[in-house]
Amino acid sequence: MENRTPLVEMRNISIAFGGIRAVDNVSVDLNGGEVVALVGHNGAGKSTLIKILSGAYRRDSGSILINGQEAQIGNPRDAKKYGIETIYQTLALADNIDAAANLFLGRELRTTWGTLDDVAMESEARKVMGRLNPRFQRFKEPVSKLSGGQRQTVAIARAIYFNARILIMDEPTAALGPQESAQVAELVLQLKADGIGIFLISHDIHDVFDLADRVVVMKNGQVVGTVSTSVVTEDDVLGMIIVGKCPPGAVPGPGALQLANSVKAG
Amino acid sequence: MSLPVRFLKATELDTRMLGMLAALAAIWIGFHIASGGLFLTPRNLWNLSVQSASVAVMSTGMVLVIVTRNIDLSVGSLLGFIGMIMGVIQAEILPAWLGFGSPAIWIIALAAGAAVGALVGALQGYMIAFLGVPSFIVTLGGLLVWRGAAWWVTSGRTVAPMDATFRLMGGGPDGAIGAFWSWIVGFVACAALAVMLIQARRQRRKFDFPLRPFWAECFLAAIGCVLILGAVAVANSYPWPAGIVRRYAEASGITVPEGGLFISHGIAIPVLIAIGVGVVVTFLAKRTRFGRYVFAIGGNPEAALLAGINTRWIVMKVFVLMGILTAIAAAISTARLNAATNAQGTLDELLVIAAAVIGGTSLGGGVGTVVGAMIGAVLMQSLATGMILLGVDTPLQNIVVGVVLVVAVWLDTLYRKRIR
């Protein structure tokens, strides 16, 4: 376990927007079949870090390794080539086109003539949507007419359809009711069993403890620490989020509260 | 379900489009009655179709521009500039090299115009997509620049006459394909319609999707064919004027029988060009990745970017396409006038935008159809023609057109709110 090459390794990643270091020297890793939760306050840098991995932002420094190999990720298309799929918090759906068109956006199925094969895309969309939400039937309507849960299902379907190896879920249950959230949780466990590595961003600490194997806590763009959910309590993690205090059993990061250490040393 | 609702559901016709056609029909019938039977004549409808062609061609591109949340205010000036260049090439430069009336002249002139249109479109598109200057500003600058450039080509001198072959693109008795070929075009269009319906039905069956009832398919095919062949019949029942018939008869050694010789105009070439452009741009918009991306960018630019679409490149290509379409419109317009003037196309940008917007293109982006914009262009031209027939003063014409534009968009807003 210890010597296995991680599926994803992000090393010393930094990015600044106009002088503000949104992500500051962050290193995280993720193994296949593992769920790693990223938690922290709004503005802690979670979504920014994840957007670097998904190709939406270009990092200022640091490196990304996929299966131990240096990966060149300059745009979302590159990331998808490495099997990195993302469910964004905003869902990132084009509201004026239908579910199938969104599902295949950027990767359309085409006929031998090179034209769009809408019928084949709808057929595939029906299959994958049927797996996630068997009652969904509104394939002809633009996604702006769908409910929040249905839109979320479209976003999730898009991420899992293309055989992702690495899945990034940014607040995947934010728009969902309890029943649909449970469905997503079930899906996460199923994908995990299939050997997919999942980065999960969530504000819901219960979700995190239900689903994640490890938790990475971020604060002010830095990693406070990384802990295994099996060795700490929810309160420990809340302590990391709020004051940056690492409990015993955690691997402290550069953002950990330094005061405790210096007091101990003194 | 009431009968009309069931009917619309079965045929899957777009209610908004039906509303537009109804408005067009109302305008036509209204003008026909008010003018004492002058509007719905083959002659007037034929002229109406020719006069709509130039704006209709540009409106197809404007739909895509507006769908990507941009605007192009420069098309009228650009039309003048390209018209001038095509005019000078065919009337002053090429005859010296190739001889007067050489068959290559119109091709070279048109190709040069299209190239200029594409280049200007690329330049404006680059500034909008890659340098991030708002399209309103870039094309507002273009409106001034290209109008000035049009003047510059000949220092304001009008260029005439155009090449004889080039002139066919503008319509007139020569610039129409005659009765026989018009019927051929009509039958081919009907056959294409039938093939499309059958193909769509076959595809749906293959994937077990719900099918339209069989009667609805037959109804659509029948109504489509009636409309197509009806339009051909109208174009064919507009005869050449007696003077041109006499000249034609003398030239080909035919004696004109008692009561005159009936020679049909048939469909005008500019109208064929406009329909061809409409089909091609609709194909681009609906059936290619380019079109899908254009609409996705309009719906949510960020989502399009995150999906890995090169959104800047797509926006730039839309402006290149707009430039080429403007060149085609310039060819139609200069050919029809048989001259290139530096004022040509003045205020056309507003007619083109109005046609697109009346045709259901939303200025918010993401929504619009090419067919709608073309019907919008015909609708605008119908208003203008009808008011001229009624002898309405020009200032009042402008007032009416302005009011119609605003009311049409208001009604559209109401309609969209209701269906949401």
Instruction: Classify residue A259: in a domain, yes or no.
Output: yes
Determine which helix (DSSP H) or strand (DSSP E) holds B258, and give its type and residue range: none
Instruction: Classify residue A91: in a domain, yes or no.
Output: no
Q: Which of A56, A96, A120 minimises the CB distance to B306? A: A56
pLDDT along chain B (420 residues), means of 10: 78 85 95 95 96 97 97 98 96 89 92 98 98 97 97 94 94 92 97 94 84 90 96 95 87 81 93 97 96 97 94 98 98 96 94 94 92 96 94 91 88 76
Instruction: Classify residue A181: in a domain, yes or no.
Output: yes
Q: Among residues of chain A, what percentage have pLDDT more than 70?
A: 95
Contact at CB, B307 and A123, closer than 8 angstroms: no
Q: Report yes or no for ipTM above 0.85.
A: yes
Q: By CB neighbour count within 10 A (0-12 exposed, 13-18 middle, 19+ buried), where does B93 fall?
A: middle
Contact at CB, A80 and B308, closer than 8 angstroms: yes
How many distinct structural domains can be found in chain B? 1
Taking only residues 59 to 118 of chain A, the set having a beta carbon closer than 8 angstroms to any beta carbon of chain B reads 75-77, 80, 86, 88, 90-97, 101-102, 105-108, 110, 114-116
d(CA A208, CA B364): 39
* Residue/partner pairs of B2-8 with CB below 8 Å, 24 or more apart: none
A129 and A243 co-located in one domain: no
Q: Which of B207, B303, B307 minimises the CB distance to A123? A: B207
Contacts of A87 in chain B (CB under 8 A): none
Instruction: Classify residue B86: in a domain, yes or no.
Output: yes
Tokens of A92: 């990132």
Nearest CA in chain A to B208: A123
A218 and A231 co-located in one domain: yes
Instruction: Classify residue A243: in a domain, yes or no.
Output: yes
If you count residue pairs, one on A and one on B, with CB atoms under 8 Å apart, how many are there? Answer: 81
Contact at CB, A105 and B299, closer than 8 angstroms: no
Q: Which of A55, A96, A106 minimises the CB distance to B366? A: A96
A21 and A150 co-located in one domain: no
- Which of A97, A107, A118 to substitute to test the interface with B, most B CBs within 10 Å? A97
Nearest CA in chain A to B420: A145
* Rg of chain B, C-alpha, whole Å: 22
> What is the dihedral sign for C-alpha B63, B66, B70, B72?
positive
Question: For residues B68 and B60, is the Cβ–Cβ distance under 8 A?
Answer: no
d(CA B298, CA B314): 11
A183 and A258 co-located in one domain: yes
Identify the domain boundary among A122, A142, A163.
A163
Instruction: Classify residue B181: in a domain, yes or no.
Output: no
Instruction: Classify residue A89: in a domain, yes or no.
Output: no
CATH number for A211: 3.40.50.300
A61 and A176 co-located in one domain: yes
A168 and A66 co-located in one domain: yes
Closest by CA to A167, choosing from A64, A221, A87, A236, is: A87
Instruction: Classify residue A169: in a domain, yes or no.
Output: yes
Question: Collapsing DSSP states into helix, strand and coil, what is residue B394?
Answer: helix
d(CA B48, CA B300): 38
Contact at CB, A94 and B303, closer than 8 angstroms: yes
Contact at CB, A54 and B306, closer than 8 angstroms: yes
Tokens of A155: 């976003």
Q: What is the pTM of this model?
A: 0.92
What is the reported pLDDT for B420? 54
Closest by CA to B300, choosing from B365, B206, B244, B247, is: B365
What is the reported pLDDT for B419? 63
Does the structure show a pLDDT above 90 at A4? no
pLDDT in tens, A153-183: 899 899 989 989 999 999 888 777 888 888 8
- B99-108 burial string, b = 16+ CB within 10 Å, else e? eeebeebbeb
Chain A closest-CA separation from residue B68 CA (Å) = 12
Mean pLDDT, chain A, whole residue set: 89
Chain B closest-CA separation from residue A127 CA (Å) = 11
Instruction: Classify residue A206: in a domain, yes or no.
Output: yes
Instruction: Classify residue B55: in a domain, yes or no.
Output: yes
Does the structure show a pLDDT above 60 at A124? yes
Instruction: Classify residue B384: in a domain, yes or no.
Output: no
Chain B closest-CA separation from residue A120 CA (Å) = 8
Contact at CB, B296 and A105, closer than 8 angstroms: yes
What is the reported pLDDT for B256? 80
Kindly list the distances between the CA atom of residue A103 and the CA atoms of A92, A151, A188, in Å, as whole numbers in the listed order.
Answer: 11, 11, 19
* Residue/partner pairs of B223-229 with CB below 8 Å, 24 or more apart: B224/B190, B224/B193, B225/B190, B225/B193, B225/B194, B228/B186, B228/B189, B228/B190, B228/B193, B229/B186, B229/B187, B229/B190
What is the reported pLDDT for B378? 97
Kindly list the distances between the CA atom of residue B187 and the CA atoms of B99, B119, B180, B277, in Å, as whole numbers in the listed order.
Answer: 39, 38, 11, 19
Cα A212–Cα A213–Cα A216 angle in degrees, nearest 5: 75
* Rg of chain A, C-alpha, whole Å: 19
Instruction: Classify residue B323: in a domain, yes or no.
Output: yes
A260 and A131 co-located in one domain: no
Using beta carbons and an 8 Å cutoff, which residues of B are at the interface with A?
203-204, 206-207, 209, 286-289, 292, 295-300, 302-309, 366-367, 420
pLDDT in tens, B53-94: 999 999 999 999 999 999 999 999 999 999 999 999 999 999
Chain A closest-CA separation from residue B205 CA (Å) = 10
d(CA B13, CA B7): 9
d(CA B168, CA B338): 10
Contact at CB, B299 and A122, closer than 8 angstroms: no
What is the reported pLDDT for B303? 95
Tokens of B401: 């057109």
Contacts of B63 in chain A (CB under 8 A): none
A73 and A111 co-located in one domain: no
Give all strands of the β-sheet with A35-39 in edge-to-edge order. A84-87, A166-170, A197-201, A35-39, A214-219, A222-228, A251-252
A52 and A33 co-located in one domain: yes
Instruction: Classify residue B11: in a domain, yes or no.
Output: no
Contacts of B363 in chain A (CB under 8 A): none
Instruction: Classify residue B167: in a domain, yes or no.
Output: yes
A240 and A197 co-located in one domain: yes
Contacts of B201 in chain A (CB under 8 A): none
Report the range of poorest mean pLDDT among A96-105, A241-250, B157-166. A241-250
A150 and A207 co-located in one domain: no
Nearest CA in chain A to B364: A96
Tokens of B113: 């115009």
Instruction: Classify residue B245: in a domain, yes or no.
Output: no
Contacts of A95 in chain B (CB under 8 A): 299-300, 366
What is the reported pLDDT for B295? 97
Contacts of B299 in chain A (CB under 8 A): 94-97, 142
What is the reported pLDDT for B1? 59
Q: Give the range of the structural domain holding residue A118, as residue numbers without chain letter.
A: 96-163
How many distinct structural domains can be found in chain A? 2
What is the reported pLDDT for A264? 45
Does the structure show a pLDDT above 50 at A266? no
What is the reported pLDDT for B335? 97
Closest by CA to A185, choosing from A153, A210, A150, is: A210
Kindly list the distances between the CA atom of residue B361 and the CA atoms of B295, B372, B374, in Å, as whole numbers in the listed order.
Answer: 12, 8, 11
A134 and A221 co-located in one domain: no
Q: Give the range of the structural domain holding residue B272, as residue numbers without chain letter.
A: 40-176+268-346
What is the reported pLDDT for A3? 59
